[in-house]
Structure 1
Amino acid sequence: MDPRMLAAFIAVAEEGNFTRAAERLHLVQSSVSASVKALERTTGLRLLYRGTRAVTLTAEGRSFLPFARAAMEAMEAAQDSAAAIAGGIGGHVAVGVLATPDIVSIASSIATLHQRHPDLRISVKSALGGSLALQDDVLANVLDVCFVVLPFPQSPELTVEPLLTGKFVLACGTSHPWAGRSSAVTPDELSGADLVEFPRGFTLRDSTDRELAARGVTRRTSVEVPHLDLISSYVAAGVGVGFVTEWVARDHPGLVALHTPWIDMHWTVAAAWANTRRLSLATETFLETVRENCRRAIENDEMLFAPDAR
């Protein structure tokens, strides 16, 4: 049995759609459809109901799916073992990232891995729905690993490894009335101020909601954008004030960090993967390269530190 048949079937079963399955496998839709039909001919089973709007599993398909997954995992383990003996690493790693700056140096990790292991292919998907959306994709087997910001409601099926921690600071633009002050911004002053924030569901927004509500701050959100760079741009333009990472406030020429000793918010970026299936050698190799970059970043930047060193 051709493993490509199993891979196509698993992707269609998990995506519920031939088009999305083809995108996930980086194949044309006709190729995925042909592989699934070939699998059904080989097994003598009808595995899928092909509706006009959705593709669903038959009873035979539901029974067959866990064994197909186990067979693919066994094959990947065999390939990993042989690759380790041969000294080369190949395969594909699907990575999910947040729509934030590349804090854990994913780009650098990929460049390093391309040099060390030319046969290793890595694809990166950016999620606008925050850490929860990435978690869903990992648990649905769309992604092998993702990078999330803590804390967020975690599934017990998710393994989370904290990598980097830093501090959030309140910032304003250089033209803002608060830009030249040396005294602290009080909770009363922040009440009613225009805020530039992430949408609800993002870790930073949830953290600021909790922190400000606990201190009696009346919120007035002016702009919601799903990217830290966009928050920085709107704040620098004078639209409002907003919480950004300490090093963004330091390095952005249009931002001024404000003093708010009454609030202490930190961010932690973590790698996350499903603990219900084994990590491939390719994924483990990718993760170790990211860990190397994070350790180097902590050594070189006093504003970044290991999560257990807070």
Structure 2
Amino acid sequence: MTITQLTAFLAALEHGSFTAAARALDMTQASVSELVARLERELDVTLFARGSRRLVPSAAALELRPHAAQAVSAVQNGIDTIQALASLDRGTCTFGVLRNAAYYALADLAETFHHRHPNVRLRLVGINSALVARSIAAGELEAGLLVLPIDEDGLDVHPLFRDEVLYASATRPARRGPVTIDEVADAKLVLYDAFAGWDDPTRRQLAERARLQGRTIEPAVEVEHVETALSLVVAGTADTIVSRSVAESEGFPAGIRTFPFAEPMHDTIALVQREGVLLSPATRRIAELAERMLRERIPEHAGRTALD
């Protein structure tokens, strides 16, 4: 069994045909087909059903996939490590961060990493966690810091800490206690992350709680950024939800009061990468840096809990 055979197998599995796999690998179709055939003979199994317009992977192929991906990734990362050496003097880092990264003390992540490794190309993608998760699963990003829950198929998820979600209002009396899901369903709301919509992890939690009570939540206004939502809240237009990290930030509007949920709700921040694939040295380094920065800077608070 060779790395070349495993590479050809993975390409055929991903692209659905030997012809497409050959184009991706810059090889001939016959070479890819022969490499997969050799692998089948060595393992004494059939990996693909031939004859149709698209290769159909067998159960053995699906079982082999994560091991093959890890082996190919390990070899490539070994090559990258030797080339970059300990100083990481080359390479590219692709990393996703949650939309509100600035509120989690990650605003200077790029600056810190670039200062330490100035010759590494850095690509940070900061969009909604649901969209970042899809990019990681598709191989467009290597890893990222995301808010849970997300669709975890094909992903390795390592939770780091929880951040309490609060109800934010400029009109709700301060003396009132925790907020029930019925009150949220009846309220006039402005919700952010409009593009992700109900795929947004925090919204998913809210919608599920409402569903269990036989209710639905329909925001009166949807915007893209939390800052825009807060400007509408402080004007008394509508209420919203925010994490405690946002609520305790320096720029949080003074006229907004926050309330816990009657049944406490939390965002869970996690480090996410593709299942069975080793990170490149550069991405591994920025993931370690991001995790360390988070753990060092999360204020001690009952609403935020570090996870081991």
TM-score, normalised via structure 1 length: 0.67
> What are the Cα deviations for residues 180-223 of structure 1, in whole angstroms up to 9, with x where unaligned?
43122654544422012242111111111122344565634211
Question: Structure 1's 68 and 293: CA in aligned 2 closer, same or farther, altered over 3 A?
Answer: closer
Percent identical pairs in the alignment equals 24
How many residues are treated as equivalent by the alignment? 254
Does residue 193 (structure 1) correspond to residue 194 (structure 2)? The answer is no
Question: Structure 1's 140 and 261: CA in aligned 2 closer, same or farther, altered over 3 A?
Answer: closer
Q: Are 2:162 and 2:305, in contact at CA under 8 Å, matched by a contact in 1?
A: yes
Instruction: Give the SS at the match of 1:165.
Output: strand
Does residue 288 (structure 1) correspond to residue 288 (structure 2)? The answer is yes
User: 1 CA distance for matches of 2:179 and 2:145?
Assistant: 34
- Residue type of the partner of 2:230? S
Aligned-pair distance for 1:306? Answer: 0.5
User: 1 CA distance for matches of 2:30 and 2:103?
Assistant: 46
- Residue type of the partner of 2:168? A
> What are the Cα deviations for residues 143-183 of structure 1, in whole angstroms up to 9, with x where unaligned?
1112221122311x21112223211110113xx2x2x4312
Q: Provide the residue aligned with 1:102 in structure 2.
A: 102
> Paired residue for 1:183, among 169, 172, 176?
176
Q: Provide the residue aligned with 2:121 in structure 1.
A: 121
| Cα RMSD, aligned residues only | 3.7
Question: Structure 1's 98 and 59: CA in aligned 2 closer, same or farther, altered over 3 A?
Answer: same
Does residue 168 (structure 1) correspond to residue 165 (structure 2)? The answer is yes
Aligned-pair distance for 1:116? Answer: 1.4
User: 1 CA distance for matches of 2:107 and 2:248?
Assistant: 22
TM-score, normalised via structure 2 length: 0.68
Question: Structure 1's 250 and 69: CA in aligned 2 closer, same or farther, altered over 3 A?
Answer: closer
User: 1 CA distance for matches of 2:178 and 2:246?
Assistant: 19
> What are the Cα deviations for residues 49-102 of structure 1, in whole angstroms up to 9, with x where unaligned?
xxxxxxxxx999xxxxx9999778634422303433x54443111122333343
Question: Structure 1's 46 and 238: CA in aligned 2 closer, same or farther, altered over 3 A?
Answer: farther
User: 1 CA distance for matches of 2:184 and 2:54?
Assistant: 58
Q: Are 1:90 and 1:121, in contact at CA under 8 Å, matched by a contact in 2?
A: yes
> What are the Cα deviations for residues 225-267 of structure 1, in whole angstroms up to 9, with x where unaligned?
3433333233223221111012322331245234355231011
Question: Structure 1's 247 and 139: CA in aligned 2 closer, same or farther, altered over 3 A?
Answer: closer
- Residue type of the partner of 1:273? Q
Question: Structure 1's 196 and 300: CA in aligned 2 closer, same or farther, altered over 3 A?
Answer: same
- Residue type of the partner of 1:125? V
- Residue type of the partner of 2:82? S
- Residue type of the partner of 2:167? L
- Residue type of the partner of 1:172? S
Q: Are 1:89 and 1:117, in contact at CA under 8 Å, matched by a contact in 2?
A: yes
Question: Structure 1's 113 and 220: CA in aligned 2 closer, same or farther, altered over 3 A?
Answer: closer
Q: Provide the residue aligned with 2:275 in structure 1.
A: 275
Instruction: Give the SS at the match of 2:199.
Output: coil
Question: Structure 1's 206 and 68: CA in aligned 2 closer, same or farther, altered over 3 A?
Answer: closer
User: 2 CA distance for matches of 1:186 and 1:59?
Assistant: 53
Aligned-pair distance for 1:46? Answer: 9.6
